[in-house]
Chains A and B, each alone.
Chain A
Amino acid sequence: MDVAITGLTKTFGRRTVLDAVDLEFGAGMTGLLGPNGAGKTTLMRLLAGVLRPSSGALVVGGHDLRTRAGRAFTRRVLGYLPQHLDLYPDLSAREFLDYIALLKGVDDARTRRADVARLLDRVGLADSADLRLGGFSGGMRRRVGIAQALLGDPRLVIVDEPTAGLDPEERMRFRSLLAGLGERCTVVLSTHVLDDVAQTCPRVAVLAAGRVVYTGATSGLTAYAQDRTYLVDTDGPQPTGAAVTNAAATPEGMRYRVVADEPPPGAVPVAATLEDGYAALMRDIHPT
């Protein structure tokens, strides 16, 4: 399911949240990164057809979301997990998923039951399927949210910060779930957890202040920090003129991981990670 976004602009009053965004998503997983307020959630809501663009075009599988028919088509193929999802506390996980499956047009009760049971199992909630959602922990609710996004065999899956609140084991389970999906449909994953993108997304787009500042291979974003990533051991202040991506106390003082154009004194070059590449990109956009 190809998604083409052309000149997409969204304003709320006088505030421009997305500014002439051009992006393309093909089959497989694409990560969507960016700082808070970059416009990621707005882009997701536009893709889900919840918001209408102020200008520009959004085409999903050849169907223009500016038309009623285009939006109807997108709803039929969409699996969507919003950033924050309050669930009906009076329903059990099984009932909630069955309800959403109904709304998604899965009319056959037997198909719905099987689909719901399969997804509850896949998100590790089979044992809690008949408990009320009001008693679920944040992580369990998130897993229900993930499961509902996968109901109805969607061909376009949009998930907004899906791993927020998940413990490491749940996060690993979710990654493998998404990786399996990416083989047969288009998945757009918005997250602040760069490790999730590094592990699952071969492609990535980065938004900053409503504009696309990078789109391409995830390895390409990592390469942004290649030959600019260093470890610095010091008992003095943190290095200046560099983006610090990590800091850890050592017996001798502090060890900083930095991205810098010039190596700080005593710096040891190391292989860049996606986090370093992202920090390098942000540093280039907003040099401090």
Chain B
Amino acid sequence: MKGVAALLAVACYEARMAARGRGVWIGMVPMAALALLVGMGRLDGAESARLNAGAVAEALTLVVPVGVGVVLADRLRRGTAAGLGDLLDSVPLRGAARIGAVLAGGLAVALLPVLPVTAVLGAAAAVRTGDAAALPWTALAFLVVLLPACAWITALAGVLALVLPAPLARAFVVPAWFWAVAWNPRLLWAPTPVGTLLVPSGEYPAQAWFGTTPSWAGNGQVGWLSPAADGTVTGLANLACVLLSTALLIGGARLIMMGKR
């Protein structure tokens, strides 16, 4: 329990540092505005509060993680500055758990501008559908569709910035995200998680719990890894895969940081 409290405190300090940097706001406030436009566009065809929440979350998941990845790419790299890496590695609370807390703190701040947008979209959906349940559905969609995607891209961006110069890593995050969630291998073949349980786009959870119609799920390149979106089981399996790959990226970051010494 003490360890959890300490990790929480680490996340709080990292959030404080992220909040004090201008970069996160400069990147995320316009991204939140874009998310509002995209989300409002998806409200038009809303049939029910639940479906609406899933559709909006899917739409936001296409664009918001890009901004998150770009603004948070330097979070792990900062901890490798001269001497700081050695210092952070000489203390009892270290390793992958601390890296996870570092990323979580930054992510919490990066998503702050998106929270009011989500609330506005939820409220707008409630008005349009006449169903107050739109608000909790929207919150749930935020948690199971958008948040895992943002966690995944945050970890990926952190790893990229450990092996590439930070500006290059930020630039690389954008194509990396679209490769992960929107690459069409029929147009240009390349191995991609699109259509498989590994995809971080939230398609499977959105189908499972919000009833959206998946665009790619089930049509991935590896058959056994691409089951048709079929409710809770595939939704949970996809969430588990995304969280596991996020954990693997964090573990990879840890190995890279150790290798740099």
| A positions within 8 Å CB-CB of B | 45, 48-51, 72, 75-76, 78, 80-88, 90-91, 95, 98-100, 102-105, 107, 132, 145, 148
Residues in B whose Cβ lies below 8 Å from that of A78? 90
Taken together as a complex, chains A and B put the C-alpha atoms of A148 and B16 apart, in Å, by 19
Asked if B86 and A50 sit within 8 Å, CB to CB, the answer is: yes
Taken together as a complex, chains A and B put the C-alpha atoms of A76 and B98 apart, in Å, by 16
Taken together as a complex, chains A and B put the C-alpha atoms of A48 and B88 apart, in Å, by 11
Q: A51-B261, A78-B90, A103-B91 are in contact. Are A84 and B13 (CB under 8 A)?
A: no
Taken together as a complex, chains A and B put the C-alpha atoms of A6 and B86 apart, in Å, by 23
Distance between A177 CB and nearest chain B CB, rounded to angstroms: 19
Interface membership of B187, Cβ < 8 A: no
New A-B pairs, 19, CB < 8 Å, besides A88-B84, A104-B93: A45-B86, A49-B89, A49-B90, A50-B86, A72-B92, A78-B90, A80-B87, A82-B84, A84-B83, A86-B83, A88-B78, A90-B16, A90-B20, A98-B13, A103-B94, A103-B98, A104-B91, A104-B92, A105-B6
Interface membership of B188, Cβ < 8 A: no
Question: Can you name 9 A-B residue pairings with CB atoms under 8 Å?
Answer: A48-B90, A49-B89, A78-B90, A80-B87, A100-B91, A103-B10, A103-B88, A104-B91, A105-B92
Asked if A99 and B93 sit within 8 Å, CB to CB, the answer is: no
Asked if A85 and B92 sit within 8 Å, CB to CB, the answer is: no
Asked if A95 and B261 sit within 8 Å, CB to CB, the answer is: no
Q: Hey, what's the 0/1 contact readout for B11-25 against A, CB within 8 Å counting as 1? A: 001001100110000
Q: A91-B17, A105-B93 are in contact. Are A82 and B10 (CB under 8 A)?
A: no
Residues in A whose Cβ lies below 8 Å from that of B82? 82, 84-86
Interface membership of B9, Cβ < 8 A: yes
Which applies to chain B's interface (DSSP): helix, strand, loop or mixed? helix
Asked if A75 and B90 sit within 8 Å, CB to CB, the answer is: yes
Asked if A100 and B9 sit within 8 Å, CB to CB, the answer is: no
Asked if B86 and A82 sit within 8 Å, CB to CB, the answer is: yes
Residues in B whose Cβ lies below 8 Å from that of A107? 2, 5-6
Residues in A whose Cβ lies below 8 Å from that of B13? 91, 95, 98-99, 102
Distance between A15 CB and nearest chain B CB, rounded to angstroms: 15
Interface membership of B26, Cβ < 8 A: no
Asked if A75 and B91 sit within 8 Å, CB to CB, the answer is: yes
Residues in A whose Cβ lies below 8 Å from that of B90? 48-50, 75, 78, 80
Asked if B10 and A87 sit within 8 Å, CB to CB, the answer is: no
| B positions within 8 Å CB-CB of A | 2, 5-6, 9-10, 13, 16-17, 20-21, 78, 81-84, 86-94, 98, 261
Taken together as a complex, chains A and B put the C-alpha atoms of A91 and B5 apart, in Å, by 20
Taken together as a complex, chains A and B put the C-alpha atoms of A99 and B16 apart, in Å, by 11
Distance between B227 CB and nearest chain A CB, rounded to angstroms: 40
Q: A50-B261, A86-B82, A88-B78 are in contact. Are A100 and B87 (CB under 8 A)?
A: yes
Report which of B17, B84, B92 forms a contact with A75, defined as CB distance below 8 A: B92
Q: A91-B16, A102-B6, A102-B9 are in contact. Are A82 and B92 (CB under 8 A)?
A: no
Taken together as a complex, chains A and B put the C-alpha atoms of A81 and B86 apart, in Å, by 9
Residues in B whose Cβ lies below 8 Å from that of A83? 83
Residues in A whose Cβ lies below 8 Å from that of B17? 88, 90-91
Asked if A82 and B91 sit within 8 Å, CB to CB, the answer is: no
Taken together as a complex, chains A and B put the C-alpha atoms of A100 and B13 apart, in Å, by 10
> Would you list the 10 A-B pairs with minimal beta carbon distance, nearest first?
A82-B83, A85-B83, A86-B81, A103-B91, A90-B20, A84-B82, A90-B17, A48-B90, A103-B93, A82-B86
Distance between B20 CB and nearest chain A CB, rounded to angstroms: 4
Residues in A whose Cβ lies below 8 Å from that of B16? 90-91, 95
Taken together as a complex, chains A and B put the C-alpha atoms of A82 and B2 apart, in Å, by 27
Residues in A whose Cβ lies below 8 Å from that of B84? 82, 85-88
Taken together as a complex, chains A and B put the C-alpha atoms of A49 and B92 apart, in Å, by 11
Distance between A161 CB and nearest chain B CB, rounded to angstroms: 11
Residues in B whose Cβ lies below 8 Å from that of A102? 6, 9-10, 13, 93
From B81, which residue of chain A is reached at the shortest CB distance?
Answer: A86
From B10, which residue of chain A is reached at the shortest CB distance?
Answer: A102
Residues in B whose Cβ lies below 8 Å from that of A75? 90-92, 94
Asked if B87 and A85 sit within 8 Å, CB to CB, the answer is: yes
Taken together as a complex, chains A and B put the C-alpha atoms of A72 and B3 apart, in Å, by 15
Taken together as a complex, chains A and B put the C-alpha atoms of A80 and B161 apart, in Å, by 27
Taken together as a complex, chains A and B put the C-alpha atoms of A47 and B13 apart, in Å, by 28
Taken together as a complex, chains A and B put the C-alpha atoms of A156 and B38 apart, in Å, by 57
Residues in A whose Cβ lies below 8 Å from that of B20? 90, 132
Asked if A82 and B261 sit within 8 Å, CB to CB, the answer is: no
Residues in B whose Cβ lies below 8 Å from that of A51? 261
Residues in B whose Cβ lies below 8 Å from that of A81? 87
